[in-house]
Amino acid sequence: MLENFLIICYTTPNYERITEHFLNCLDTITVPKANICIKRDIPPIELMQKEGFKSNLWYYCLITKFKHLIDSLILNKDKYDYYISSDCDIQFLYHHIDKWYDLEEYMKTNNKDIYFMREGLTEEVNGGFYIICNQNLDSTINFLKSVYDEMIITPYSKMELGDQTIINKKIIGMTNIGKIPLQYVVWGHDIYDHTNSLVHHAVQTSGTIDKMVQMKKVIGYLE
Q: What is the pLDDT of residue 207?
A: 86
* 221, part of any domain: no
- The residue ranges of the chain whose pLDDT is under 70 are 1
Q: Is the Cβ–Cβ distance between 184 and 198 less than 8 Å?
A: yes
* 213, part of any domain: no
Q: What is the pLDDT of residue 196?
A: 98
* 215, part of any domain: no
* Buried b / exposed e along 147-179 (16+ C-beta atoms within 10 A): bbebbeeeebeebebbbbbbbbeebeeeeebbb
Q: What is the pLDDT of residue 34?
A: 96
Which residues constitute the domain of residue 106? 5-182
* 109, part of any domain: yes
**Burial zone of 81 (CB within 10 Å; 0-12 exposed, 13-18 middle, 19+ buried):** middle
Rg of the chain on CA atoms, in Å? 16
* 209, part of any domain: no
Q: What is the pLDDT of residue 206?
A: 86
94: CATH: 3.90.550.10
pTM above 0.85, yes or no: yes
**Which pairing describes strands 82-86 and 190-191: parallel, antiparallel, or unpaired?**
unpaired
* Buried b / exposed e along 54-76 (16+ C-beta atoms within 10 A): eebbbbbbbbebbbbbbebbeee
Looking at the structure of the chain, the number of domains it has is 1
Q: How many H-runs (helices) and E-runs (strands) does the chain carry?
A: 6, 10
* 91, part of any domain: yes
Determine the residue type at 183: Q
